[in-house]
Amino acid sequence: MNRLTPEAIAEGLESGRFRYMRKRCKRGHEWAGTGKSVSRTSTKKCLFCGLENARAQYENTDRNTEEYREVRRIRNQRYRDRLKTEGGDRLEDHRRKHVERNRRWRTESEESFRATLRRYRTSEKGKLLNKANHNRRRAAKENSHSARYSRKDLRSRLSEFDNKCVYCAKVVTTENTHSWDHFIPLSRGGCDTLGNLVLACRFCNASKKDRDPETWYFTQPFASDRRWKTLLKRLGIKEPGQLPLL
Ligand SMILES: [Zn+2]
Ligand SMILES: [Zn+2]
């Protein structure tokens, strides 16, 4: 598209594409101290009025409509077609330049990109997010009921348990040994919901696996009736066999 630069206008005046108007335009646009307005020879309309009108139309059009998207689609297609016939080489050059630049960017920044990702994954934030995502995928696999919970939910759940394993009461922290345990295992119909997630040490989690929580708990050396009851109460389970729902 030809921009209305001073050079373009001067050139247009010379070639006859534009010409001076006899009178100033209605809005009084004046060209470069000549005291005159310049019009398009073809339309006899002032260049700058045209520009203003186009701008106003652009601003007043709601472009977020289905109709407008269609207009844009056709216009873009027409542009691409034109480039193909008229500027085939230019388009190809352009494309090649982009591909080249992307490739360079990827190789140059790969190491720093990986490092950033690694830092995030090992941060507390990243770990909790990972856990939430991992659980959601697992629940989907087991066809368990799953309710979305966020990294923030997990964090507040973490503090609810005083950073202690609910089974053996060993202190666990995010940095080392904490893990999330589905109290009723997903494979036994447990839900992937916050209410079914408890904080456990890695040892207990690995040892409990998919076993029935109660059976497993009472074969452990640290088993205590009192703590078991407290745990059930905390999970809102009144009768044995009731799945914690939340
Ligand atoms: Zn004008
Ligand atoms: Zn434990």
Ligand nearest to the CA of 231: 2
The separation between the first and the last C-alpha atoms of the chain, rounded to the nearest angstrom, is 61
Opening angle at CA 97, ends 103 and 77, nearest 5: 110
Tokens 């909790």, residue located: 128
Taking each helix axis as running N to C, give the angle between helix 151-160 and helix 124-141, from 0 to 180 degrees, rounded to the nearest 10: 100
Assess if residue 113 is contained within a domain.
Answer: no
H/E element, 211: none
What's the number of domains the chain is made of? 2
- Provide the whole-model pTM: 0.44
For residue 236, the tally of other CB atoms under 10 A from its CB is: 11
Question: Which residues lie below 8 Å from residue 190, measured CB to CB, with a gap of 6+?
Answer: 144, 182, 183, 184, 196, 243, 244
Which amino acid is residue 150, in one-letter code?
S
Neighbours of ion ligand 2 (CB under 5 A): 165, 167-168, 201, 204
Count Cα neighbours of 98 within 13 Å in the Cβ-side half-sphere: 6
Ligand 1 centre and the CA of 45: distance in Å? 8
- 66/144 same-domain check: no
**Among the three residues 57, 86, 115, which one is the final residue of a domain in this structure?**
86
Count Cα neighbours of 203 within 13 Å in the Cβ-side half-sphere: 13
Assess if residue 243 is contained within a domain.
Answer: no
- 152/198 same-domain check: yes
- 40/128 same-domain check: no
Ligand 1 centre and the CA of 60: distance in Å? 20
Ligand nearest to the CA of 25: 1
Ligand 2 centre and the CA of 142: distance in Å? 25
Which amino acid is residue 226, in one-letter code?
R
Ligand 1 centre and the CA of 13: distance in Å? 16
Assess if residue 98 is contained within a domain.
Answer: no
- 144/57 same-domain check: no
Q: Distance between CA 187 and CA 143 in Å, rounded?
A: 9
Q: Read off the pLDDT of residues 81-104 as tens digits, 9 standing for 90 and up.
A: 887 777 667 777 878 888 888 888
**What's the CATH code of the domain at 146?**
1.10.30
**Among the three residues 28, 62, 86, which one is the final residue of a domain in this structure?**
86
Neighbours of ion ligand 1 (CB under 5 A): 25, 27, 29, 46, 48-49
- 139/43 same-domain check: no
Assess if residue 241 is contained within a domain.
Answer: no
Which amino acid is residue 14, in one-letter code?
E
Ligand nearest to the CA of 38: 1
- 77/145 same-domain check: no
- 135/182 same-domain check: yes
Q: Distance between CA 25 and CA 43 in Å, rounded?
A: 13
Taking each helix axis as running N to C, give the angle between helix 88-122 and helix 66-86, from 0 to 180 degrees, rounded to the nearest 10: 120
Ligand 2 centre and the CA of 204: distance in Å? 4
Assess if residue 60 is contained within a domain.
Answer: yes
Residue 68: domain span: 6-86
- 230/128 same-domain check: yes
Assess if residue 65 is contained within a domain.
Answer: yes
Ligand nearest to the CA of 28: 1
- 135/218 same-domain check: yes
**Among the three residues 33, 56, 86, which one is the final residue of a domain in this structure?**
86
Ligand nearest to the CA of 49: 1
Given this model, what pLDDT does residue 219 score? 93
pLDDT tens digit at each of 246 positions of the chain: 457 888 899 999 999 999 999 989 999 999 888 889 999 999 999 999 999 998 898 888 887 788 888 888 999 898 888 877 776 677 778 788 888 888 887 787 777 778 877 888 888 878 887 887 887 777 777 666 666 677 778 778 777 888 888 999 888 776 556 778 889 888 888 888 888 889 888 889 889 988 889 999 999 999 999 989 888 888 877 765 555 554
Assess if residue 147 is contained within a domain.
Answer: yes
Assess if residue 96 is contained within a domain.
Answer: no
CA distances from 221 to 131, 167, 169, 200, 218 (A): 29, 11, 12, 16, 8
Given this model, what pLDDT does residue 1 score? 47
- 148/57 same-domain check: no
Ligand 2 centre and the CA of 205: distance in Å? 7
- 75/169 same-domain check: no
Given this model, what pLDDT does residue 171 score? 83
- 55/137 same-domain check: no
